[in-house]
């Protein structure tokens, strides 16, 4: 048995895969992904010196602090 990971680019491909699954030719197991981590990976891949997760977290906390300070 081989296991592969694929990205569905066209919804019709998913329909084909489901048909293959219904014929018991393949099995489909969806992986849960963390969308935030996916976004961070995409951003990091486009930057020469990407920020670390700690730097990103610190910046998010700074922005949140400023937002909450303005609300009160």
Specify the pTM. Answer: 0.44
- Tens place of pLDDT for every residue, the chain, 72 residues? 888 888 899 999 999 999 999 999 999 988 777 888 888 788 888 988 888 889 989 999 999 999 888 776
Give me the pLDDT at residue 72, please.
67
* Every domain of the chain and the residues it spans: 32-72
13's tokens:
């491909």
């Amino acid at each position: 048995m081989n296991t592969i990971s694929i990205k569905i680019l066209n919804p019709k491909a998913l329909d084909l895969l489901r048909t293959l699954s219904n014929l018991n030719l393949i099995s489909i197991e969806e992986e849960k992904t963390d969308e935030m981590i996916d976004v961070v990976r995409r951003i990091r891949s486009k930057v020469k010196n990407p920020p670390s997760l700690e730097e990103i977290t610190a910046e998010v906390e700074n922005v949140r602090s400023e937002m909450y300070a303005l609300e009160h």
